[in-house]
Structures are given as structure tokens and as C-alpha cells.
Amino acid sequence: MSLTWRYLLHFSACTELKKTLDAQQYVSTTADIWSANNKSFMGVTKAAIACKRFRGRHTYDAITTELEDIFSQYGLTNDKVTACVMDNGSNFKKAFKEHQQQQVESKEEVVGDGEVEFTDLHSVLTADDTQHGLCVLPPHHRCAAQTLNLIANNEVVNWLVSNPESRAVYRSATAKCSVLWTKASRSTVASECLEEVSDRKLIVTTVTRWNSFYNAYARITEMPLTDINSLCTQLQIKCMNDREYQFLKECCAIMKPFTVALDILQGEDTCFYGTLQPTLEVLMAKTLVMKNGLSQMTTGLPEVIVGAIKTRFATTIDSKDALLAAVSLPKFKLRWVKEEARRDHIKFLLTTECHSLTTEEPTALMPDAPQPAATSEDDFFSFDVQPNATADVPMSVETEVSRLWKGPGHKCLYTSVNFTSLLWLYATSVV
């Protein structure tokens, strides 16, 4: 294909994408930078908005400039982009911190005692704009899936290697598992020995995905200890003792809700910002339930996990945007909130926000969302059944907010444009 045809196809695709984005009231984007073959690239998605070469150092000001250029190319203003999701890198965090939109003071504010205030024109014209930054970026959401990965790889591992009761057994158990994975994945003879004791292959871990470590450990603990040691004997490696086997089983049991939550937050189809708050709440509750019946090796690990979640997600938990995003999703509403005082607070926030939105003519009922087949996600979110709502006619904001909590899980009762706008503004951003 000639360069001319490639350019025309690219131009046509960009034009269609821009038309699609122009038709949306709000959009949420993601961005990332990676390296391959000694070259750096930046990708920005809503759809495939950009995938371009990133030259030079990955400094915060260079990142800001690239993002601003990409957003400007597609007409993505700060009024349209609700958030940009990036990882926890210090350069990303600084880029958004230094270039956030500032609140403009009211023009009606009186200066001093009503006297005229003069400004030196030369100082205004010669001011260093780079100090304040002309670029303005949308709100920054740190990638929730990567944050959970950091908790598993940092806080959890640091506690296991520093706790006197778990330090030795953690190192010995993981070392034996590592040797077993290496043997079974690199040797055909070892693979044949594995087939004799188990009908399932061992899982090879991936360094950048903590879930792969959990799945690998869980696959080993699914085998009886006698079979594991029989395999170790055939491969001429150290056998696993009862204490090490029990440690692995307890760790897998404690981390099971964590892995389900991580799978939910790194999903592709239904991973909305409104999913984050309920997922964290349920994860912390299910993790604390695991405190009972643990040995001295893992006692205290559930509290460490919950404490790490509260620390790393401190700016998200109980934030207005996160709460409104969660209750705006028909799947969750208020079913994940247990405390009555907190429920009343969220109802007040939602009612106030609906009143603040532009009031237009009520729209027709939004159709029911399709009911997916039961999954591990449904088992993770186990809420009490709410009574069904009855009337399907336009109503006031207060009445509609009240009825919202009473509707069934996936049924969308949004009959006013206020709720519809709220849904698009908060709940449909990506995590």
C-alpha cells in the first residue's frame, strides 16, 4: 500500500473518530508511556485516540505538552474530559498536579476599599509563563488496578518478610515453588513427571501481573501435599513441609478477594469509575472476615491489606465524585453502603447534585440493562435484595432519588435528564 493511501486511510479514520467524540457530552481517557526496542511511545485511549513516538526524557512538562497536543487535536476540552487515568509514576502525578485547572475568583469581588488597583504592564508582558503553565489538564485518576498491584507487591510482601512469624516460612515456601515452576516449565522430563501426579499444568508467573503469582501458588495448593512431594522427589528438589503448605493455603485464602477485586478493576467492558468505591468497600469487608482461624504465620495480614487500601486510596474513599459515581450506576445504587448515616449523606449529595444540573424536559425511561450470566464478580458483590419500584412516570428529583434506592439491581430508573447527565458525568469514567 502506498504512503498516499495510508495517509488517506489515517486521515479518514481520524475524521470519523473526531465526529464520534464531538457527539459525546463527556468522555474519559486513559494514557500510558512504554518502551520497546529502545524507543518510547505514548498511547491515549477513549477509542484509539493516539499511539505515537515519545522522544526525549519522560519529564512531567514533556508529558503535559504531548497530552495537550493530543487532546487539542480531537477537540477534547476540559469541559468534555471528565478524567484521565494514568499510573502512579511520579512524572505523571507531577504533570497533573502542576497543570490542574485553578478555580477562578469571582469577577464581582471588590478589591480593597473600592479603590482602583494598577498593574505594571511590563511585568505582565514579561512574566515567565512557564512558571505557571499555559497547559491545563483534566482531573487525574490513578490507575486502581496498578494501585492494588502495588499493595500486593509492596505492603503485603514487606509485611511477610519483616514479620518474625512469617519471614522464614515465606522465603522457604516461595523458593521451593519457584524451583518447581522453573523445572516444570523448562524440562520435558519434569513436565511428564507432573502429568503422572496431576492432570493440570503449573502456571508460570508474570512479573508485571501480581494475579499470576496468586494463580501459580493457588494451583500448587490445589494439589495434595503428598503429590507435591512425590513430584519434588522425582525432580530431585527439596520437598515441601506441612508448615510451608499451610502457609501457602492461608495466604491464598486471604488474598482470594483481592484477586477478584483486581480482575474487576482491570476489566475491559464494564470497568466504570462507579465500580471502584463498591469494589474497595466489599474487598475490605471480605478481607477482614478472613481474620478468624488464621495461624500465627498470617495473623495480622488482613489488617495490613485493609490499612494499605485506606492509605493508597485515601483521596478516593468518601470523595464526592467517587460516591456519586457509585450510586449513579444502577448495578450498585446504595446497596453497598451499610451505615445509615453514610447512606443519608450520599442521598443528600445526589439530590443536591441533581438540583444543580440544568433542568430540561423529562426523558423516557432508559431500558433495562441486559442481564449477564452469573460470574465470580456476582459472587463478589453479594448485596441484600431491594424492594422493586412501581411507578414509571416523571417525578421530582427528591421522589426519584428516593425511588432509585428501591429499584432492583440492574434496572435503570432514570426518568429525568438530571439523572441521565449525572450518570454520564460521574459513573461512566474508566477506573
pLDDT at 162 over 90: yes
d(CA 109, CA 99): 25
Q: Are 88 and 146 in contact (CB under 8 A)?
A: yes
Evaluate the CA torsion angle 423, 429, 430, 431 in order and state its sign: negative
Please state, as a whole number, how many other Cβ atoms lie within 10 Å of the Cβ of residue 190: 20
d(CA 225, CA 65): 57
SS3 of the chain: helix, strand, coil, percent, to 5? 55, 10, 40
Over range 327-340, report the average pLDDT.
85
Record the cell numbers describing residue 284, joined without a space.
475490605
| Percentage of the chain lying above the pLDDT 70 cut | 74
Q: Return the SS3 of 86.
A: strand
pLDDT at 99 over 50: yes
Record the cell numbers describing residue 202, joined without a space.
503449573
pLDDT at 62 over 60: yes
Which part of the chain has CATH 3.30.420.10? 24-101+133-142
Q: Cell 487500601 sits at which residue?
A: 309
The residue among 97, 93, 85 whose CA lies nearest residue 30 is 85
Convert the pLDDT of each residue in 357-384 to its tens digit.
655 444 444 444 444 455 667 678 776 6
Q: Is the full-model pTM beyond 0.85?
A: no
* More confident of the two residues 332 and 397: 332
Convert the pLDDT of each residue in 130-143 to its tens digit.
444 467 888 888 88
pLDDT at 404 over 70: no
pLDDT at 18 over 90: no
How many residues are recorded in the chain? 431
Please, which residues have CB within 8 angstroms of residue 271's CB and are 6 or more apart in sequence?
Answer: 264, 265, 430, 431
d(CA 233, CA 239): 7
| Percentage of the chain lying above the pLDDT 90 cut | 26
d(CA 140, CA 60): 13
* More confident of the two residues 89 and 219: 219
Q: Grade residue 218 by pLDDT with cuts at 50, 70 and 90.
A: very high
* More confident of the two residues 113 and 282: 282
Q: Grade residue 50 by pLDDT with cuts at 50, 70 and 90.
A: confident
d(CA 263, CA 17): 29
Record the cell numbers describing residue 211, joined without a space.
494475579
- Residue 226: predicted pLDDT: 92
Mark out the alpha helices in 157-241 (DSSP H runs): 157-162, 167-186, 188-197, 210-221, 225-235
- Residue 124: predicted pLDDT: 47
Q: Grade residue 392 by pLDDT with cuts at 50, 70 and 90.
A: very low
- Residue 385: predicted pLDDT: 54
- Residue 327: predicted pLDDT: 85
Question: What are the C-alpha distances in Å from 215 to residues 221, 248, 269, 411?
Answer: 10, 12, 23, 35
Q: Are 192 and 167 in contact (CB under 8 A)?
A: no
pLDDT at 405 over 70: no
Q: Grade residue 204 by pLDDT with cuts at 50, 70 and 90.
A: confident
* More confident of the two residues 97 and 160: 160
- Residue 313: predicted pLDDT: 93
The rounded mean pLDDT for the chain is: 78
- Residue 431: predicted pLDDT: 62
3-state secondary structure 244-305: HHHHHHHHHHHHHHHHHHHHHHCCCCCCEHHHHHHHHHHHHHHHHHCCCCCCCCCCCHHHHH
Over range 62-70, report the average pLDDT.
89
Q: Domain 24-101+133-142 - what CATH class?
A: alpha beta
Please state, as a whole number, how many other Cβ atoms lie within 10 Å of the Cβ of residue 369: 14
